[in-house]
Structure 1
Amino acid sequence: MKAAFTLICFFFTVLCLGQTELDDMLQRYNTRSIPYISVEELRMLQTNESIIVLDAREKNEFEVSKIPSALYIGYSEFSSEGLSEKKIDKSTPIIVYCSLGIRSEVIGEKLKKEGYLNVKNLYGGIFEWKNNGYPVFDSQNVETENVHVCSKIWGKWLQNGTKVF
């Protein structure tokens, strides 16, 4: 019994420290100009068809895996004209994500400047989504364990799934 309690305490500590490290990293790179939404909140909202999920990663990352129903908008190739073509109402709730939530904040700021009123940044991005056991899909819409991590440095944040470089 004592060993089980010790093991539970160890895993709880690891989880808490991991979250604190993610908090510290996002605080270092983000200004929180776009409010966060948790992966749990997004998962609950996915049954609601009136939200739009936008992937702010590069095309090669998006092709490896994406969050269900996500639309590609990219980062370096981002253009607000692309959203106009998709005819997204500016009051529609929009959730933007990338790998961890850094690039998606930049894209979220651009969306706000374009007049989109309800933009949120997915806290921890697709890495946090996958770390929580939620499904991702490849370019053929087949569920996959693969997640593009860009580099070994950023890949340390993906704990669940197969890292693709």
Structure 2
Amino acid sequence: MAKKIAYIIIFLISTLSFSQKSIAEILKKYNTESIPYITVNDASKQLNAVILDAREFSEYKTSRLKNAIYVGYNDFNLKKTIKKLNNKQQPVIVYCSIGVRSEDIAEKLKKAGYTSIYNLYGGIFEWKNNNLPVYNSEEKETDSIHTFNKEWSKWLKKGIKIYD
């Protein structure tokens, strides 16, 4: 009986220590905050900003912010991305699912001399959770959101969860 209780306690402790309770906790854990966050509300008003999607291509094909430029994460190419940007002072908003991968990509742009780089806080999930429009590969509004995987899908509260 004591052994069974010990296993239960170990299970509960491991579950509590590995599960994140909010997007804020995940961002605190994985990000350095070297790139300033921009809220989805503020980002939705940035009409002159370039929007970069730092997710994988399968995610981008399923769902994206309007006029977002795919730059990827695993296959990110700084030289190709720079060719898509007008100047180093223009506002650039980088997003991914919740804001972890986008910080990595934004840091690379910052090191390349870009001065107005922002990381979308909560990424496309927070965007959709705030009822802002998301588009598919045909530029039509969609409720289907690629959530990267089943684990990350718990942070999407609105829309249809799609993952490979």
- TM above 0.5, yes or no, is yes
- Alpha-carbon RMSD across the aligned residues, in angstroms, is 1.0
Residue 128 of structure 2 corresponds to 130
Measure the CA separation in 2 of the matches of 1:57 and 1:70. Answer: 11
Residue 105 (structure 2) pairs with residue 107 (structure 1): yes
Measure the CA separation in 1 of the matches of 2:65 and 2:85. Answer: 21
Runs of 4+ residues deviating >2 angstroms? none
Q: Which amino acid aligns with 1:65?
A: S
- Give the TM-score normalised by the residue count of structure 2: 0.84
Deviation at 1:84, TM superposition (A): 2.7
Measure the CA separation in 2 of the matches of 1:86 and 1:99. Answer: 22
Measure the CA separation in 2 of the matches of 1:77 and 1:43. Answer: 27
Residue 38 of structure 1 corresponds to 39
Q: Which amino acid aligns with 2:99?
A: G
Residue 137 of structure 2 corresponds to 139
Measure the CA separation in 1 of the matches of 2:85 and 2:53. Answer: 17
Post-superposition CA distance 1:85-121 (Å, at most 9, x none): 2242111000000000000000010000111111000
Measure the CA separation in 1 of the matches of 2:86 and 2:80. Answer: 10
- Give the TM-score normalised by the residue count of structure 1: 0.84
Residue 118 of structure 1 corresponds to 116
Residue 3 of structure 1 corresponds to none
Query: Number of residue pairs matched?
Result: 143
Which of the two has higher C-alpha Rg? 2
Measure the CA separation in 2 of the matches of 1:77 and 1:153. Answer: 23
Question: Larger % of helix: which?
Answer: 1
Measure the CA separation in 2 of the matches of 1:43 and 1:87. Answer: 19
- Give SS of 2:151's match: helix
Measure the CA separation in 2 of the matches of 1:142 and 1:121. Answer: 25
Unaligned runs of 5+ in 2: 1-20
Measure the CA separation in 1 of the matches of 2:76 and 2:86. Answer: 15
Q: Which amino acid aligns with 1:36?
A: Y
Residue 150 (structure 2) pairs with residue 149 (structure 1): no
Change (3 A) 1:148 1:122: same
Residue 6 of structure 1 corresponds to none
